[in-house]
Structure 1
Amino acid sequence: MKFFENSTVFNYSWEQVAQGFWRRYPNPHSKHVLSEDTISREVKSGKLITKRILSKTNNIPKWAKKFINTTYVYIIEESIVDPKNKSLVTYTRNLGFTKVMSVTEKVVYKQSEENPSKTVVSRYAWIDSQVKGFSRAICAFGYERFKKNANVMIGGFNYVLQNMYPHQNVIHSVTSTTANKIKDAAKNASELAKSKAAPIYASLHPNQS
């Protein structure tokens, strides 16, 4: 198993980053993200809890085609928004080919303690493989691919925030240490859950009706 960790500081308030989180896609840096569908959304103890499925694609090396016969994969994303404590935590994992390589990610978006006008984003990932004889090489490949994609995600998020807040300077720093699509019925159900979550959801989407 390989472990990845990095921390990014965005020159945007937590409220701005929390709003931008829901508008991350599409953006020019994340063309590998093909779709995103909401499964459920509800409020528990003042926290907005959302579950979504995203479909993504990535080029794979020739050796990987021995184990994987498609470049498409579905990702489940669970998020918890806590406006009172200004915290947004997400958990994601791949749904397909988990024996070949499983990637579990946790991302924490918190208001900076040193500067409340900035947001600290801490990203953690665990990459594992159960392929005998190849697990070490697959984990090493997965680690390098994830590290590269993490930088792409930062660039994409910056692009979104810049467009949402064009008059604000963009400064960020990074430090590192070593399935089918959701059916229309599910979308309708998520919209119903969204309406029940109006008090919190509306605060994070002030420009949406």
Structure 2
Amino acid sequence: MRTLNERADVIPVIAEVFREFGFEGTSLSRITEKTGLGKGSLYHFFPGGKDEMARTVLAHVDGWFEREIYAPLRDDAPDVAIAQMWRGVDDYFRSGRRVCLVGAFALDGTRDRFAAAIASYFTRWIDALRDALMRGGWPAAQAADSAEEVVLGIQGALVLARATGDEAVFGRALARFQRRLQRPATM
């Protein structure tokens, strides 16, 4: 096990604990077990306790998605950015083996506590994908519908892959959505 000497080292480990057990199911004892840190060390890194840990983890996820998904979709050539989105999403969610932490927080009692961060994650993704599609020549309404459908589908594929224990569901869903976004559908 890697030594966790810095706050930045602890964040990904805590994220995986929240991902596995959800916010409500994550106790400080589970976090200490998974990180190997005592409660005193955790409170040194996160004086605000579990809420601060969750906010920090959500910010960490947000930073990754901003760099790897949203910014390229907003700024890069649409075809390049969308191809990067597929690779990034597949890698981030480890081909359907990893649940969406933000999605998990959205589905339990935690949703209200972190509502702004949760809503921002989804709306920024949809908006960035919509804008990339429009720059690629899609009509605005069709781009908006398709962007929402894709983000919804990715999240649903994650849930279905996890629920059925069939990670291939996620890969098949990504492939379907990728084909749909290759060009605007004709009406």
Structure with higher strand content: 1
Determine if the TM-score, normalized by the shorter chain, exceeds 0.5: no
How does the TM-score come out when normalised to structure 1?
Answer: 0.26
Structure with higher helix content: 2
How does the TM-score come out when normalised to structure 2?
Answer: 0.28
